[in-house]
Structure 1
């Protein structure tokens, strides 16, 4: 009963800021022990997706610990039985690695028990409107244990450019609670019911047969990236913050640091290359200075 009340409240609040179009959501009907895999354009899209799917199935999401344990969010996380996962991109280490493995074990057991799991393959919000899975190994790990798990893909459009995306922060994740408060102030300034609404589209599709279920981590991740980034990915979408005039947020420029390797000793470079080759199980001759650890070599923070 409490979960239903929470879902209804979330639906009402979301309807004040978002106009959501659902395409193909009927494929969720009757699913048990399924893996739901969306792209991740903004921090708010898990909430939108979970509420949208409520009529058909109840989702149990994997949530980063930094969100799971937020003071005003933790009770809701426990209510929906979310599975906390550490953010390995910020603070990798043996202890966090163990917690990731524990979360994966919980996820696999939940799937085998018939629960429907919401997992974001990239593990983080996109920086430039295109999904980049790199060497993220969540999907691959689950498929090693449950190769025939039913999978539903979700392509989200319309959220890149919102205050919950990285488009307005120069590639940095927005502070979730601060951004929620900012959204609430936008509602108040527009007399709540007059706030301009962002159009969001969720496209659901059962996993196509050409997905390489038995392929390598790199093959699976590149396939998913191509599916999510259909038609070139998502462009920035800005909406006014005032109903009586056009007021759009500014978009900061992202500076990419340049690295000069001419001053690095060649012996150091050779040692790093050998270490990367060992971690990625690739021949040394396949490791180049412009090789991408995730995209080309299939490494993620768990391999460190």
Structure 2
């Protein structure tokens, strides 16, 4: 179900035969068997041109849910991938032909340079990318969005690219965080809403300043949380979950 009735035209990346057709023919029906995805706010995803989609993250199945939603709206879903993966035989080829976006993680300087290069590629190609600003599955015990990292903000500001907060709810019933896949009952409902792009006009030209990155990251996390509150029909905690304040690692499995 969608809240918009405006008919969108298919983007060139979806209307032309490509590897995406093959992937969609395999993945979309499989996801459709386990999830009934209801999309809201699809008019907020540009029909053409580059964009950064920033969703919440609470289940390992989230990337499939978001990818199918983006494809159904009319765009090809792309994600950030570690630059080193592009050098792996076969895998690197697959990442390149599907237009995944490389990002360096070795050092601050390398990451900054890689982000600028990735932003330029996105703008030149007119592609979009999906970036999880939390960087991993939320550590919040009630699955609210936790503290964000600056990756999505860096990429959007480096290329003057629309930054679009996205929230979804329901994927945790299919695959609980670090849990087991639940296939019964089939086609569990997952609602996903695309919010309006953030107004970043006041930050253009300041994308390298830490204070700007922190402010934009806070804005996108608040945007995601507000959308999540609407989906869940309840208010999020006043203070966003900070893993380090609770003695938690921000990588790897969450300790019980």
Q: What's the TM-score, normalizing by structure 2?
A: 0.65
Are residue 130 (structure 1) and residue 148 (structure 2) matched?
no
The partner residue of 1:40 within 39, 44, 57 is: 57
Q: Which range moved further: 101-110 or 34-43? A: 101-110
Q: Distance in 2 between matches of 1:145 and 1:213?
A: 11
Q: Is the 8 A contact 1:130 1:233 kept in 2?
A: no
Q: Residues 113-152 of structure 1: matches in 2 within 5 Å?
A: 113=124, 114-128=126-140, 129-134=143-148, 136-147=149-160, 149-152=161-164
Encode CA deviations 1:236-279: one digit per residue, 9 max, x unaligned: xxxxxxxxxxxxxxxxxxxx559xxxxxxxxxxxxxxxxxxxxx
Q: Is the 8 A contact 2:173 2:188 kept in 1?
A: no
SS of the aligned residue for 1:50 comes to helix
Are residue 220 (structure 1) and residue 216 (structure 2) matched?
yes
Q: Which 5+ residue runs of structure 2 have no aligned equivalent?
A: 1-17, 205-210, 233-245, 251-256
Q: Is the 8 A contact 1:41 1:156 kept in 2?
A: no
Deviation at 1:28, TM superposition (A): 2.5
Q: Is the 8 A contact 1:33 1:110 kept in 2?
A: no
Encode CA deviations 1:196-215: one digit per residue, 9 max, x unaligned: 33211110122244886457
Q: What's the TM-score, normalizing by structure 1?
A: 0.56
Deviation at 1:133, TM superposition (A): 3.4
Encode CA deviations 1:11-51: one digit per residue, 9 max, x unaligned: 11101111110001133252302222222222222222222
Q: Distance in 2 between matches of 1:152 and 1:224?
A: 8
Are residue 25 (structure 1) and residue 39 (structure 2) matched?
no
Q: Distance in 2 between matches of 1:208 and 1:97?
A: 25
| Residue in 2 that maps onto 1:240 | none
Q: Distance in 1 between matches of 2:87 and 2:189?
A: 30
| Residue in 2 that maps onto 1:8 | 25
Are residue 158 (structure 1) and residue 170 (structure 2) matched?
yes
Encode CA deviations 1:134-177: one digit per residue, 9 max, x unaligned: 4x221332344233x223221111223543524x4xxxxxxxxx
Q: Distance in 1 between matches of 2:159 and 2:54?
A: 15
Q: Distance in 2 between matches of 1:75 and 1:199?
A: 34
Are residue 63 (structure 1) and residue 74 (structure 2) matched?
no
| Residue in 1 that maps onto 2:121 | 110
Q: How many residues align?
A: 208
Q: Is the 8 A contact 1:156 1:201 kept in 2?
A: yes
Q: Which 5+ residue runs of structure 1 have no aligned equivalent?
A: 89-94, 169-181, 236-255, 259-293, 295-304
Greater CA radius of gyration, 1 or 2?
A: 1
Counterparts in 2 of 1:75 and 1:37: CA distance versus 1, 3 Å: same
- RMSD of the TM alignment (CA)? 3.7
SS of the aligned residue for 1:105 comes to helix
